[in-house]
Amino acid sequence: MQQNYQVSDMKVLNFGSLNIDYVYSVNHIIIPGETEPVAEVSEHCGGKGLNQSVALARAGVRVYHAGMFGEEGDLLIDKLSENGVNTEYIRKITGRSGHTIIQVDKNGQNSILLFGGANRALTRDFIDDVIGGFDAGDIIVLQNEVNLIDYIIDKAYDRGMKIVLNPSPYDDAVTACDLRKVWLFFLNEIEGGQMTGESDPERILNVIRERYPGACTVLTLGADGSVYQDTDRRFRQEIFKVKAVDTTAAGDTFTGYFVSAIIDGMEPDKGLELAAKASAIAVTRHGAADSIPGRDEV
């Protein structure tokens, strides 16, 4: 049965991470035991959750962000607010915000250390309060940078929400989730392999379709573009070739723009094209949230 993409009169909740990114520009990503001088250090707002909320908002979506931040994280709320993201479901707690230490090499590739901080402080009561503000048919966007992801999925599903999951980083918290409740998966090749035990993209997609026949999937393949599949369709999209300087938020930009296409009622092949254009622009800029383009640019 073909998926129905026309979604109207609904809200989008992104229940996700809020991180401060400390970015180090390096000649090459270091190996164990190596010391390398750093020419430049910068601080940016990031986290897969924040990045995806900014991407959704810049794509024109009315999005609400839910999560927690620490004592030094007011800049995270400022970043969301200045991009038009609703922050009424975000709470400040004692302790440190989530943060990352990111190496970005001369080719734009990155290596990331992630500290969960306040992102790992979610409680069931807080989740219940947030989910209670949304209705059946609303969309919830999730990543695996906060705790209790399995509980969030269960509560959102019971509420009748459409669950979008980017299971990154893929670990035991993801395997504890009832993934049959997911409406739309966003995966790269690594996560697809961890999820299915396969390495070939075609096999990854076939296994996901077999295990989760009611789900849609977007599989990103780096330089080989991306693939969308649902119950009976499969579409492919090539990349738009650009000079990359920082790939940090490319996947999050892709996710936000594809979800915006769904909300606009676009067909998935057109959604892939829109998302590919947006992520191509993002990788030509430094930083995470700051690199995400607006809809008019795309």
Would you state the pLDDT for residue 286? 82
Would you state the pLDDT for residue 218? 98
Domain residues of the chain, as ranges? 12-18+46-98+119-291
> Can you tell me whether residue 236 is helix, strand or coil?
strand
Would you state the pLDDT for residue 9? 63
Q: Is the per-residue pLDDT at 279 higher than 60? A: yes
Q: Is the per-residue pLDDT at 1 higher than 70? A: no
Q: How confident is the model at residue 4 (pLDDT cuts 50, 70, 90)?
A: very low
Between CA 14 and CA 109 the distance in angstroms is: 26
Between CA 248 and CA 256 the distance in angstroms is: 14
Using DSSP bridges, classify how beta strands 98-104 and 110-115 pair: parallel, antiparallel or unpaired.
Answer: antiparallel
Q: Which CATH architecture has domain 12-18+46-98+119-291?
A: 3-Layer(aba) Sandwich (3.40)
- Give the mean pLDDT of the chain: 93
Would you state the pLDDT for residue 6? 40
In what order do the strands lie in the sheet containing 12-15? 86-92, 63-69, 12-15, 139-143, 162-166, 184-188, 216-220, 226-229, 234-237
pLDDT digits (tens, 9 = 90+) for 140-185: 999 999 999 999 999 999 999 999 999 999 999 999 999 999 999 9
Between CA 131 and CA 152 the distance in angstroms is: 8
- What is the arithmetic mean of pLDDT over 251-265? 95
- What is the arithmetic mean of pLDDT over 61-68? 97
What is the percent of the chain where pLDDT is above 90?
84
pLDDT digits (tens, 9 = 90+) for 27-46: 999 999 999 999 899 888 99
- pTM confidence score: 0.90
Q: How confident is the model at residue 8 (pLDDT cuts 50, 70, 90)?
A: very low
pLDDT digits (tens, 9 = 90+) for 184-207: 999 999 999 999 999 999 999 999
Residue 168: name the closest of 154, 185, 155 by CA: 185
Range of weakest confidence among 62-76, 98-112, 220-234: 98-112
Would you state the pLDDT for residue 29? 93
CA dihedral 190, 191, 193, 197 (to 10 degrees): 140
What is the percent of the chain where pLDDT is above 70?
97
The alpha carbons of the chain give a radius of gyration, in whole angstroms, of 18
- What is the arithmetic mean of pLDDT over 280-291? 87
Would you state the pLDDT for residue 216? 98
Q: Is the per-residue pLDDT at 5 higher than 70? A: no
Would you state the pLDDT for residue 87? 98
- What is the arithmetic mean of pLDDT over 255-268? 95
> With contact defined as beta carbons under 8 Å apart, do 285 and 246 qualify?
yes
Q: What are phi and psi of 34, to 5 degrees?
A: -95, 145
- What is the arithmetic mean of pLDDT over 76-80? 97
